[in-house]
Structure formats: structure tokens, C-alpha cells
């Protein structure tokens, strides 16, 4: 997944993350789970592997996690934070 991040600056910690889009001057904040997903995508991890990790750590059903992850990735795309 292409992060398309040459214009993005991220600060993350255990509480979440803030992503600054320097092209439009917009800040997007993420909770801790969103930050974990963002960092995993940045490392090149596949969405299915990320979903499996979240499901294992939270005890949630994998299909529900996959749906939520797809929705989250779509939201990142709509904000032009992901380019694919």
C-alpha cells in the first residue's frame, strides 16, 4: 500500500498519532489503534495481517475487524493520506 507520504509528517506515541499534511496544512489525529494501523501500513504490512493482529490482541471477530479496517483505510484515502 502506497502511503504517498512525501508531504506527510507523523508524530506517534502510545496514545495515538497526529499526521500533518504539509500540502494542505491539515492535521489528522488518530487514536492508539489508528496509530498502530498507520505505522503498520507505513512498514508495508498487508491489511489482512494487520487485521489478524488486531483481532488476536482484542478478541474481536476477524471479519468485523477486517470491515472496520477497510473503512479506516477508505477514510485515509478520502483525506489523501493513502494513494492506493
Q: Specify if 52 maps to a domain.
A: yes
pLDDT on residue 32 = 93
Domain that holds residue 26: 8-78
pLDDT in tens, 30-81: 999 999 999 999 999 999 999 999 999 999 999 999 999 999 999 999 988 8
Say if residue 82's pLDDT is above 60: yes
- How many domains is the chain partitioned into structurally? 1
Q: Specify if 83 maps to a domain.
A: no
Q: Specify if 20 maps to a domain.
A: yes
pLDDT on residue 19 = 93
Lowest-confidence segment of 2-6, 10-14, 57-61, 69-73 by average pLDDT: 2-6
* Rounded Cα–Cα distance for residues 59 and 22 (Å): 37
Torsion-angle region of residue 3: left (phi > 0), alpha (psi -120 to 50) or beta?
Answer: alpha
* Rounded Cα–Cα distance for residues 64 and 12 (Å): 25
Q: Specify if 1 maps to a domain.
A: no
How many CA atoms does the CB half-sphere of 56 hold within 13 Å? 6
Q: Specify if 28 maps to a domain.
A: yes
Model pTM?
Answer: 0.85
Amino acid at each position: 500500500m502506497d502511503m504517498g507520504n512525501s508531504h506527510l509528517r507523523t508524530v506517534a506515541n502510545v496514545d495515538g498519532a497526529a499526521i500533518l499534511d504539509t500540502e494542505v496544512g491539515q492535521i489528522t489525529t488518530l487514536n492508539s489503534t489508528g496509530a498502530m494501523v498507520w505505522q503498520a501500513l507505513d512498514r508495508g504490512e498487508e491489511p489482512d495481517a494487520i487485521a489478524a493482529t488486531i483481532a488476536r490482541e482484542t478478541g474481536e471477530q476477524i471479519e468485523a475487524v477486517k470491515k472496520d479496517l477497510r473503512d479506516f483505510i477508505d477514510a485515509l484515502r478520502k483525506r489523501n493520506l493513502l494513494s492506493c
